[in-house]
Structure 1
Amino acid sequence: MAKLPTKSEIIDWLDAHPAASSKRDIAKAFGLKGAERVELKRLLAELADDGRIERRRRHYRDADKLPPVTVLVLIGPDAAGDLWAKPMEWQGEGPEPRVLFLPRQNDPAIGPGDRFLARLIEARDERHDYEARLMRRIGQPQAEKIVGIFRKATEGGRIVPIDKGVDREWRVRADATLSAKDGELVEAEQIGPKGRMGLPLARIVERLGDPSAPKAISLIAIHQHGIPDAFSDAALAEADRGEPASMAGREDLRDVPLITIDPSDARDHDDAVAAMPDDDPRNPEGMIVWVAIADVAHYVRPGSALDRDAWNRGNSTYFPDRVVPMLPDILSGDLCSLHEGVDRPVIAVRMRLNSSGDKIGHSFHRGMMRSGASLSYEQAQAAADGNPDEATEPLMEEVIRPLWNAYSLLKRARDRRQPLDLDLPERKIELTPDGRVKSVNFRDRFDAHRLIEEFMILANVAAAEELERLRRPLLYRVHEEPSPEKMDALREVAEASGFTLAKGQVLKTSHLNRLLGQAEGTDFDELINISTLRSMTQAYYHPSNFGHFGLALKSYAHFTSPIRRYSDLVVHRALISAHRWGDDGLGPTDIERLEETALHVSETERRSMAAERDTTDRYLAAFLAERVGTEMTGRISGVQRFGAFVKLDETGADGLIPIREIGREFFHYDRDAQTLMGSETGVEIGIGQRVTVRLTEAVPMTGGLTLELVELEGSAVPGQSKKGRGKPVRRKPGMARAQETAAKVRRRRVRREG
Structure 2
Amino acid sequence: MARRIPGRAEAKPAKQSGGAHLPSRDDILRFVSENPDRTGKRDIAKAFDLKGGDRVWLKDILRDLQDEGLLKKKRRRLMRPGTLPHVVVLDIFSRDAGGGLLARPAEQEEEEDGPVPMVAIRPQKSGRTRPAGVGDRVLARVFATEDDTGPAYNGRIMKVFDKRRRAVLGVFRELPNGDLRIEPVRRGQPELQVDEEFRGGAKHGDLVEAEAVSSKRYGLPKAKVLEVVGSVTTEKAVSLIAIHAHEIPHIFPSSVVEEAEAAKPATMKGREDWRKLPLITIDPADAKDHDDAVFAEPDTDEKNQGGVIVTVAIADVAHYVRPDSPLDREALRRGNSVYFPDRVVPMLPERISNDLCSLREGETRPALAVRMRFARDGRKLGHSFHRVMMRSAGSLSYSQAQAAVDGKPDEKTEPLLETVLRPLWDAYGILKRGRSEREPLDLDLPERKILLKEDGTVDRVIVPPRLDAHKLIEEFMIQANVAAAETLEAARQPLVYRVHDQPSLAKQESLREFLASIGLSLARGASLRPAQFNGILSRVEGSEHEQLVNEVVLRTQSQAIYTTENIGHFGLNLRRYAHFTSPIRRYADLIVHRALISANGLGEDGLRKQDEERLEEISALISATERRAMAAERETVDRLVAEHLSGRVGEEFSARISGVTKAGIFVLLPEYGADGFIPVSTLGNDYYIFDEARHALVGQRSGCGYQLGDVVDVRLVEVTPLAGAMRFEMMTDPTRLPGSSKSYHKTKRTAAKGKRTTRRSGNARGR
TM normalised by structure 2 equals 0.82
Which residue in the other structure is 2:185 paired with? Answer: 162
1:495 aligned to 516, 540, 551, which one?
A: 516
Residue of structure 1 equivalent to 2:244: 223
Question: Which residue matches 2:690?
Answer: 669
Count residues with an aligned counterpart.
Answer: 699
Distance in 1, matches of 2:571 and 2:17, equals: 32
1:534 corresponds in structure 2 to 555
**Quick one: distance in 2 between partners of 1:32 and 1:378?**
59
State the AA in 2 paired with 1:457. I
- Change over 3 Å in CA distance of 1:24–1:235 after alignment to 2: farther
- Kept in 1, the 8 Å contact 2:497–2:562? The answer is yes
Distance 2:727 2:286 in 1: 33
Tell me the residue number matched to 2:311.
290
Distance in 1 of aligned mates of 2:726 and 2:121? 53
Aligned to 1:280: 301
Give how far 1:486 is off. 0.9
Describe the SS at the equivalent of 1:282: helix
Look up the equivalent residue of 1:474 and give its one-letter code: L
Instruction: Determine the C-alpha separation between the residues in 1 that align with 2:122 and 2:711.
Output: 61
Residue 586 of structure 1 corresponds to 607
Cα distance between partner residues in 1 of 2:329 and 2:17: 50
Does the 8 Å contact 1:686/1:742 carry over to 2? no
CA deviation map 1:326-347 (0-9, x unaligned): 0111111111000001110111
For residue 377 of structure 1, the aligned residue among 387, 398, 401 is 398
Alignment equivalent of 1:389, drawn from 410, 413, 417: 410
Shift, 1:556, TM fit:
0.6
Q: In the TM superposition, what whole-angstrom CA distance separates every residue of 1:114-136 from its partner, at most 9, and x where no partner exists?
A: 997555999xxxxxxxx998522
Q: What is the percentage of aligned positions where both structures have the same residue? A: 50
| 2:744 aligned residue | 746
User: Aligned to 1:711, what secondary structure does the other structure show?
Assistant: coil
* Aligned counterpart, 2:531: 510
Q: Does 1:466 align with 2:464?
A: no
User: Which of residues 712, 719, 722 in structure 2 aligns to 1:691?
Assistant: 712
Specify the alignment match of 2:580 in structure 1.
559
For residues 573 and 103 of structure 1, do their structure 2 counterparts lie closer, same or farther at Cα, with a shift above 3 Å needed?
A: farther
1:41 has 2:64 as partner: no
Any idea what SS the aligned residue of 2:511 has? helix
* 1:647 partner letter: L
1:174 Cα offset (Å): 3.6
Q: Which amino acid aligns with 1:549?
A: F
CA contact (8 A) 2:691 2:747 kept: no
Corresponding residue number in structure 2 for 1:79: none
1:145 to 167, 172, 176: 167
Q: Which amino acid aligns with 1:362?
A: H
2-structure distance, mates of 1:632, 1:452:
37
Equivalent-residue separation in structure 1 for 2:295 and 2:683 (angstroms): 56
Q: Is the 8 A contact 1:19 1:544 kept in 2?
A: no
CA shift for structure 1 position 534: 0.6
Counterpart of 2:40?
A: 22
Q: Secondary structure at the match of 2:642?
A: helix
How far off is 1:58 after superposition? Answer: 5.2
Measured after TM superposition, the shift of residue 183 of structure 1 is: 3.7
Trace 1:476-495 onto structure 2 (pairs within 5 A): 476-495=497-516
Compared with structure 1, are the counterparts of its residues 472 and 689 closer, same or farther at alpha carbon in structure 2 (3 Å cutoff)? same
Deviation at 1:644?
Answer: 1.1
Pairing partner for 1:180 from 182, 198, 202: 202
Task: Give the CA deviation at 1:199.
Answer: 4.3
Q: Which residue number in structure 2 is paired with residue 310 of structure 1?
A: 331
User: Partners of 1:462 and 1:674 in 2: how far apart?
Assistant: 40
RMSD, aligned CA: 4.1
Aligned equivalents of 2:275 and 2:490: distance in 1?
28
- For 1:100 and 1:87, the matched residues in 2 are separated by 11
Q: Which residue is equivalent to 2:477? A: 456
- CA offsets, 1:537-564, max 9 Å, x none? 1111001111111110110111000000
- CA deviation profile, 1:205-254 (whole Å, cap 9, x unmatched): 22234324442111111111111110000000001001211111111111
**Aligned mate of 1:595, from 598, 608, 616:** 616
Whole-Å Cα distance in 1 between the matches of residues 461 and 155 of structure 2? 53
Question: Would you say the 8 A contact 1:692–1:712 is kept in 2?
Answer: no
Distance (whole Å) between structure 1 residues aligned to residue 429 and residue 495 of structure 2: 31
Distance 2:647 2:29 in 1: 65
Segments of 5+ residues of structure 1 without an aligned counterpart are 75-83, 90-97, 123-130, 716-735
- The answer on whether the counterparts of 2:207 and 2:232 sit within 8 Å (CA) in structure 1 is yes
* Alpha-carbon distance, 1:692 to partner: 1.3
* SS of residue paired to 1:388: coil
Q: Give the superposition deviation at 1:28.
A: 11
Secondary structure of residue in 2 paired with 1:366: strand
Q: Does 1:606 align with 2:624?
A: no
Q: How far apart, in 2, do the equivalents of 1:286 and 1:337 lie?
A: 31
Q: Paired residue for 2:77, among 51, 56, 59?
A: 59
- How do 1:51-90 and structure 2 match up within 5 A? 59-60=77-78, 69=87
SS at match of 1:740: coil
Which residue is 2:757 aligned to?
none
Q: TM-score, normalised by structure 1?
A: 0.83
SS of equivalent to 2:731: strand
Question: Is the 1:170–1:202 Cα contact (8 Å) retained in structure 2?
Answer: yes
Look up the match of 1:733.
none
Within-5 A mapping of 1:89-238? 107-109=129-131, 135-137=158-160, 142-152=164-174, 157-164=180-187, 166-188=188-210, 190-191=211-212, 194-195=215-216, 197=218, 199-238=220-259
2:488, 2:495 within 8 Å by CA — same for their partners in 1? yes
CA distance in 2, matches of 1:435, 1:325: 19
Name the SS for the 1:411 alignment partner.
helix
SS at match of 2:181: strand
The aligned amino acid for 1:655 is G
The 3-state SS of whatever aligns with 1:357 is: coil
Work out the CA distance in 1 between the residues paired with 2:344 and 2:103: 41
SS of 1:288's equivalent in the other structure is strand
In the alignment, which of 673, 677, 682 is matched to residue 703 of structure 2? 682
CA contact (8 A) 2:370 2:386 kept: yes
* SS of match in other structure, 1:615: helix
Secondary structure in 2 aligned to 1:554? Answer: coil
Contact 1:143/1:191 (<8 A) preserved: no
Deviation of 1:138 (Å):
7.7
CA distance in 1, matches of 2:491, 2:741: 55
Instruction: Report the more deviating stretch, 200-209 or 569-578.
Output: 200-209
Compared with structure 1, are the counterparts of its residues 283 and 579 closer, same or farther at alpha carbon in structure 2 (3 Å cutoff)? Answer: same
Contact 2:450/2:461 (CA < 8 Å) preserved in 1? Answer: yes
**Structure 2 unaligned residues grouped into runs of 5+:** 1-15, 93-99, 106-119, 145-153, 750-767
1:144 is displaced (CA, Å) by 2.5
SS in 1 for 2:302: coil
Match of 1:440 among 458, 461, 475: 461
Measure, in 2, the Cα distance between the counterparts of 1:119 and 1:44: 27
Which secondary structure state, in structure 1, belongs to the residue aligned with residue 411 of structure 2? coil
Task: Write the distance in 1 (CA, Å) between the matches of 2:399 and 2:90.
Answer: 54
Letter in 1 for 2:77: H
Moved more, 429-438 or 372-381: 429-438
Distance 1:112 1:168, change over 3 A: closer
SS at match of 1:467: helix
Q: Which stretch of structure 1 is more off in the superposition, 329-338 or 46-55?
A: 46-55
Checking the alignment, whether the CA contact within 8 Å between 1:155 and 1:174 is kept in structure 2 is no
Matched residue, 2:636:
615
> Could you tell me how far 1:150 is from its partner in structure 2?
1.9
C-alpha displacement at 1:680, in angstroms? Answer: 4.3
